[in-house]
Chains A and B, each alone.
Chain A
Amino acid sequence: MLNLNNLLLQVIRLLLTFVIIFLTLIIFGVSPFDVFESILYGSLGSYSKFIRTLIVWTPLCLSALALIYTFSAGMWNIGIEGQIIMGAVGATFVARSFLGDDLISPYLQILMAMFFGGFWGLICAILKIKGKVHEIFSGLGLDFVASGIVIYLIIGPWKRAGIASTSGTDIFHKASWVPTVGDSNFPIFLIILVLFLYIFSLIIFRYTSLGIRLKATGINTFATNRFNFSSEKYIVFSFLIAGAIAGIAGFSQSSGAYHKLVPSVSGGFGFLSILIVLICSRNIYFTFIVSFLFAALIVGGSQLQIKLGLDHSLIGIIQATFVLSWLVLQKIEIEKITYKQISKMFAK
């Protein structure tokens, strides 16, 4: 199955992508080696930095995993941001209730986050099927509705004691935080959850008819109806499970990263994970790795300001350039270009 020629071409494409990123950085007058050195140091340089990377990585790879389901069904789930936000709202709902100081709080939070996120994904799916609303527009709309809900909750019913400000709710009770190992902040609970969900998804996509039908829905909706199974059912399923997984990402943000509900609780990770899935073209293994690379870029990027005096938006530029040039290079037949150029070189 493995086509060596194809693999070689992909490696050449990857190298070209890095050349483009390096050139972009040089155009901005920044040394690429300095940048990547400080990113590497800033993300993996010490134990605490590594843990920060892990805490960024969990929501990223969870929402990327969620997107694999919807992309497999051929749907553009831009509503992922809203699903993350609603997941965080669900988690906060439990954390602020009378169960907030109980040891079972994190587990209930996950259930509630899955429920809220899944519900938000379900709305998108129902709008798609019943209302024939393009999922991009409904997703975009629901993103902003969700952020409106969060802002309302933070200023209104869940405001901090005394003052109403947009800086967030009160910090959760310690029992509602994501369980960690002993005194260190190692988020063992989240890591196990991520591994479990990834293996679960691998099995679904590899060994079950569910996964195959999901992919078939994405490839050709008309054909699936001929094969006597309703593609609509699978679109609903993909949005439901994507919303639930994105909800867990929201839980990881509110109870693992911030320990409270803040207006920008999704941190833009939903949109970022769309970039990740675009690069990985729905490959689960690649998504696992690339989302870690992106998390390392984000955490390492905070070092850029301190060490090199560069704005952290450089990281966004690197990520987006990477995705864009990778996508464009996929569509360019490199082998033809090189053959032509080689023949031209020999002609001279």
Chain B
Amino acid sequence: MILLENTLVTVISLSTPLIIAVIGETISEKGGVINLSAEGTIMICALFGFIGAYETDFAVVGFLCAMVLGAGISFFISYCDINLRMDQIAVGFVLTILCINLSNFLGQDYVRINGPLITKFSIPFLSDIPFFGSVLFNHSLITYLSIVLIPLSWLFLNKTSYGLAIRASGENPSSASSRGINVKRMRLLSCVMGGSLLGLAGASFSLYTKYGWSEGHTTNYGWIVLAIVIFGGWNPFRAAVGAYSFGLLQVLAIKAQSVTLALSQILPLLPFPLMIFILIFIQYINRDEIKNVPKWIVAILGGNQPQSLGKKLPEEIK
């Protein structure tokens, strides 16, 4: 029981940045923009979050710095996509390479030094509940935020008029536009919201989960985020399940290190083949080529890709 408890606590705190990043990327992709710069954004926001917190001695400042930077990067992508009509994938890809190198170059003075640390904050009374108290209510504030974000983002996307407008612009910009939705603004809004969450995720890497800064501090996490978003079928709840499963995978990999070296190196790569399988599965279900798929499997694995994901806005939208 104690082993299970400890594992769950580790998984939840280890997955904090991933949850935030996955939700951010989901919002962005719902609006139709693949933020391919996720890898670079998380990396450089991790650095600037750390610098902000280190120079001012307030962790909050670090988180704010990272969010502003993440929002700025995604604003640049959506500006290039919407106003300059450039390929969003090209811009995102180049920004990834740029941000990774920038973070390596600018972060040299901050490698492996100590800065402000977020402490644990047990919620009174609730944390006294046996098992659940220590698993759920004995974390840092950023972890609580990540847990709260899951239902909040679902409500935002599915139950608010802004969420509806964002989803409509991601599915079919032309008809959304003729329904009177300002598609350009919605695309910008969703991309910048997603970007600021990616920034927050970066900062929670360097200020909480993988405390500190070193070269290539968050390598591959951005790509994993892209995979988990698909695994989650563009649904925050399922994406969160994906992120927690990846957290579990990481814990297993650390445990396996003492047994076999190969397994511990390969386990963290598991999300990528899974992502491909899910994508194939989604397409086959949507084309009704496989009959008699049990409903619960569809509910777990299915999902709807936003139809205009990664495409340019049609010319006629002003």
On A, residues with C-beta under 8 Å from B are: 28, 76, 78, 127, 131-134, 136-138, 140-145, 147-148, 151-152, 155-156, 164, 166, 271-272, 274-275, 278, 311, 313-317, 319-321, 323-324, 327-328, 331-332
Contact = CB atoms under 8 A, between A and B. Distances in A.
21 contacts: A127-B280, A131-B284, A134-B309, A136-B34, A136-B89, A137-B230, A137-B276, A140-B226, A141-B275, A144-B269, A148-B266, A164-B261, A164-B262, A166-B261, A166-B265, A274-B93, A313-B100, A313-B104, A316-B104, A320-B95, A320-B101
Interface in B250-300: 261-262, 265-266, 269, 272-273, 275-276, 279-280, 283-284
A144 B223 contact: yes
Q: Pick the most buried of B89, B276, B309: most chain A CB atoms within 10 A of its CB.
A: B276
Nearest to A124: B276
Contact of A314 (B91, B105, B223): B105
A323 B93 CA distance: 11
A321 B93 CA distance: 12
B98 A151 contact: no
Nearest to B220: A144
Q: Pick the most buried of A275, A320, A323, A327: most chain B CB atoms within 10 A of its CB.
A: A320
Nearest to A317: B101
Contacts of B275: 137, 141
Interface in B81-136: 84-86, 89-91, 93-95, 97-98, 100-102, 104-105, 108
Q: Pick the most buried of A141, A278, A319, A321: most chain B CB atoms within 10 A of its CB.
A: A141
Contacts of A144: 220, 223, 269, 272
A152 B266 CA distance: 7
B91 A141 contact: no
Interface of B: 34, 36, 80, 84-86, 89-91, 93-95, 97-98, 100-102, 104-105, 108, 220, 223, 226-227, 230, 261-262, 265-266, 269, 272-273, 275-276, 279-280, 283-284, 309-310
A309 to B, nearest CB: 10
Contact of B279 (A76, A134, A148, A275): A134
A332 B85 CA distance: 10
Contacts of B284: 131
A140 B94 contact: no
Given A134-B279, A152-B262, 18 more contacts: A133-B276, A133-B280, A134-B310, A137-B227, A137-B230, A137-B276, A141-B275, A142-B276, A144-B223, A155-B262, A317-B102, A320-B94, A320-B101, A324-B95, A324-B98, A327-B94, A328-B80, A332-B84
Contacts of B309: 134
A153 to B, nearest CB: 9
Contact of A324 (B94, B227, B272): B94
Contacts of B84: 328, 331-332
Contacts of B86: 327-328, 331
Listed from nearest, the 7 A-B pairs whose CB atoms lie closest are A316-B101, A320-B98, A313-B104, A141-B272, A144-B272, A131-B280, A148-B269
A150 to B, nearest CB: 10
A332 B97 CA distance: 23
A100 B34 CA distance: 45
A324 B97 CA distance: 10
A298 to B, nearest CB: 12
Contacts of A311: 104-105, 108
Given A275-B97, A311-B108, A136 B36 contact: yes
Nearest to A140: B223
Contacts of B273: 141, 145
A321 B101 CA distance: 11
A131 B283 contact: yes
A141 B226 CA distance: 10
A76 B89 contact: yes
A143 B273 CA distance: 10
Contacts of B272: 140-145
Contact of B265 (A143, A145, A155, A327): A155
